[in-house]
Amino acid sequence: MTFSNARESIKSAARRLGLYEPLRKGKDRIFRTLRDSPPIIRWGLKRLLSFPKSDIERLSREFDQERLWERIMSRVAETARRDPGFHPSTSSPFNLRTLYVLCRILRPAWVVETGVASGASSWVLLTALSKNGKGGLRSIDLPPSQWEPAKSAYKEIDPVSLPAHRKPGWLVPEPLRGRWQLILGDAKAELPRLLEGLGRIELFYHDAEHTREAMLREFRAAWAHLASGGALTSDDVGWNTAFDEFCAEVLPKEAGRWFSFGLVLKP
């Protein structure tokens, strides 16, 4: 019996005994508690980013001073209390802090992200651009309500919703919106068009459809437009083999992952 056969047999036995869901939820809770604990976040940031430690520490302190994570969480929690149908799905505190630090260090002219939902990552990236005093963010999001019926199985695995009567990116504060354009549509069609128009970008964040095909497609498209020294980042790199396949394909000088976050720097 192979390892994966043994794993499947254990899973189906657990399902029969009604233990699968409680065990899965427990494992997920442990994963999140570890991933989101401040000492582990600080450690991961220094392990993942190869920039001078003093810059990473200074910019990470700046992220704390902006109280970005606390402000995002308090608005999300307050809205979820009033709207029980809202299933918030924001990037993790590690992802958001890392995106902030990267955006401050790279001082990009253009940042592109796929997957906005309520807009936590957009808020963080726009704050970093505003601190830089330069650069723009272009985001692509296909609102959950517009997913094709063909994607209903995927929706089960990655349930995301917006609060009632809210548009994607509703979290983003008004004063930050001057540097932002939000494109509503499927990244499959919109991303190549957007990249063609921008020409060159310095930072890319994938947080949309986490299927192998969609992730590989987005990574390849963004890489072709990424400037030398630019960063390609992604959430949920553990969901499938796309990130590892992509790294093997482009053989970057620097690539790494921390929990669900992946980073590749273009030589």
Ligand X SMILES: C[S@@+](CC[C@H](N)C(=O)[O-])C[C@H]1O[C@@H](n2cnc3c(N)ncnc32)[C@H](O)[C@@H]1O
Cβ nearer to ligand X, comparing 142 with 226? 142
Task: Give, to the nearest 10 degrees, the angle between helix 93-106 and helix 53-65.
Answer: 120
- Binding segment for ligand X (CB under 6 A), chosen from 56-64, 117-125, 224-232, 237-245, is 117-125
Closest C-alpha to 203, from 258, 118, 119, 132: 132
Instruction: Decide whether 172 or 255 has the Cβ nearer to ligand X.
Output: 172
Q: How far is 245 from 228, CA to CA, in rounded Å?
A: 21
Contact 112, 201 (CB under 8 A): yes
Residues that contact ligand X, how many (by CB under 6 A): 24
Q: Kindly indicate which of the ranges 48-56, 109-117, 174-182, 246-254 contains the residues binding ligand X, using the contact rule CB under 6 A.
A: 109-117
Question: Binding to ligand X (CB under 6 A): which residues in 8-37?
Answer: none
Residues 53-92 as x/- pattern, contact with ligand X by CB under 6 A: ------------------------------------xxx-
Q: Which residue in the set 121, 233, 234, 260 belongs to the binding site for ligand X (CB under 6 A)?
A: 121
User: What residues contact residue 149 under an 8 Å CB cut-off, 6+ apart?
Assistant: none
What is the spatial distance between Cα 106 and Cα 221, in angstroms, rounded to a whole number? Answer: 20
Whole-number Å distance between alpha carbons of 139 and 191: 9
Pick 159 or 253: Cβ nearer ligand X? 159
Selected from 44, 93, 108, 115, the binder of ligand X by CB under 6 A is 115
Q: Scanning residues 168 to 187, which ones bind ligand X (CB under 6 A)?
A: 168, 186-187
Instruction: Identify the burial level of 214 via C-beta atoms within 10 angstroms of its C-beta, where 0-12 means exposed, 13-18 middle and 19 or more buried.
Output: buried
Residue closer to ligand X by CB (options 89, 130) is 89
What DSSP designation does 40 have? H
Q: Are 59 and 46 in contact (CB under 8 A)?
A: no
Give me the least distance between CB of 91 and ligand X, in Å please.
3
Residues 193-252 that bind ligand X (CB under 6 A): 207-209
Q: Does 132 bind ligand X (CB under 6 A)?
A: no
Q: Which is nearer to ligand X, 17 or 150 (CB)?
A: 150
* Choice from 42, 86, 144, 179 touching ligand X (CB under 6 A): 144
Length reported for the chain? 267
Contacts of 48 (CB under 8 A, 6+ apart): 98, 256, 257, 258, 261, 263
Identify which of residues 187 and 247 has a Cβ nearer to ligand X in the complex: 187
Judged by CB, which is closer to ligand X: 50, or 152?
152
Of all helices (H) and strands (E), which one includes residue 93?
helix 93-106
Backbone angles phi, psi at 36, to 5 degrees: -95, 5
Give the residues lining the site for ligand X (CB under 6 A). 89-91, 114-121, 140-144, 160, 168, 186-188, 207-209
